[in-house]
Amino acid sequence: MVRSLLLSLLLLAAMTAPLAHAQDAPPAEAPPIAAETANDGAIEGRLTGIYDQIDGLSDIEASVEQGVVTLSGTVTSQADAARAAAIAERLEGVVTVQEEIVRDLSVDTSLSPAIATLENSLQRGWEALPLVGLAIAVFLVIALIGTLIASWTGLWRRLTPNPFLAEIAAQAFRFIALVIGLVVALNLLGATALMGAILGGAGVIGLAIGFAVRDTVENYISSIMLSLRQPFRANDHVLINEHEGKVVRLTSRATILMTLDGNHLRIPNSTVFKAVILNYTRNPERRFQFTLGVDAEDDPVAAMATGLSAISGLDFVLNDPKPDAIIETVGDSNIVLRFFAWVDQSDSDFMKARSLSIRAAKDALETAGFTLPEPIYRLRFDNGVPAALTQGERPATPRDKPKPAPPFTDHTVEDELMDVRPDDHITEKVEEERAHTREKDLLDPGRPVE
């Protein structure tokens, strides 16, 4: 029985094997030509339906063979032809596109789309007038608010340390308000791309202008720093590099000095900010010095004591700090002494005090018997001594002094020369200039001087 069951199973397997093999075999493919023909037709129908729905492309005809699309017909612009080709390239199954489209150059055909576009633009512009008006109104309101706040001088004076910075802060606030108003208005119009282009262009233009006016910007920043530092006051006697004079005012562009000759001098603030500034007015006590020579045979210590005694006796010379003297050099025929003394510039003119001190020391040395050396020259004669020197009187020696000049009798002029009070003429001219000129002064008397 088992043997019969095995034979039955083998027979069943032999009978079902061909059927299984037949089921596993893949189905026969459709003829290739027929399939491609079907695809070409579908592509052609698809393109024709698309072109019929687009204005300007309805006259284009599409033919497809083996996946190659050939476009023919007429269009009014080259842009329409390029758009038709781009549409065809995006369809699945297209191998390539051959463009044989001809542009219609007739006047009527070319002019009609332009007129239609213009009419459409005017229609859209008319419809957008209320929105444009709203955007303009928003911009004007924001700009007006910014201008009103910027013109509030008292507010900016309280927020900033000096008028110059107050003006800069107000102008910056006004500019920011204008930019905000412009951004809000463009956002209402939906012109975000235009806003980006405007901001980008403004950045590039600002960078170019910054390089072009670099010196002006440097001078402007220097003006800000000087207004904050306050290195001097009006009417201060200063020396800025090689320029000396009294300060008239500090403006946003330059520092104006009145020179000691009475001339106006404008120095750019960028130069003043980097310059070495010597302010003679900050400390009223000022030291002057001068040199006098005595004969090499004289006692220099006694000469210094005599000169210092004469200088100390002058009313305008300060006793604290007291005058002093040193031996500067010892030459072949003289000893050079240097004298120092202090004066108060608020009570005495510096140059006059120095001049009269030299006179007092010189007269005291000569009265005490000290010899002020004169130049000595040695002459060499290769051909003997000239006859003029051998026949006449002996030549004058350096110690032979000429007769003194007669005394000066005009006591009025002498009294004026002896007056060492400060000359206020330049100071008065500075005050007159400041009173009659309306130009803004950045020097603030309420701020400390650096």
Neighbour count for residue 49 (Cβ, 10 Å): 9
User: Is the model's pLDDT at 157 over the cut of 90?
Assistant: no
Instruction: Provide the β-strand partners of residue 96.
Output: 68
Q: Which fold has domain 285-385+405-418?
A: Alpha-Beta Plaits (3.30.70)
Binned at pLDDT 50, 70 and 90, residue 250 comes out as very high
Q: If 0-12 CB within 10 Å is exposed, 13-18 middle and 19+ buried, where does residue 38 land?
A: exposed
pLDDT in tens, 210-220: 666 677 778 88
Alpha helices in 106-263 (DSSP H): 107-127, 129-150, 153-159, 163-189, 192-212, 214-229
Alpha helices in 392-447 (DSSP H): 411-418, 425-436
pLDDT in tens, 50-89: 988 887 788 888 888 888 899 888 887 788 888 888 888 8
pLDDT in tens, 361-374: 999 999 999 988 87
Q: Which residues contact 108 (CB under 8 A, 6 or more apart)?
A: none
Mean pLDDT is lowest, of 27-41, 263-277, 318-332, for: 27-41
- The average confidence (pLDDT) of the chain is 80
Report the run of H or E that residue 102 belongs to, with start and end: strand 96-103
Query: Has domain 32-106 been given CATH number 1.20.1050.10?
Result: no
Q: Where are the domains of the chain?
A: 32-106, 129-212, 285-385+405-418
Specify the amino acid at residue 250: L
Output the pLDDT for position 404: 58
Output the pLDDT for position 110: 61
Binned at pLDDT 50, 70 and 90, residue 389 comes out as low
Token pair belonging to 86? 């781009």
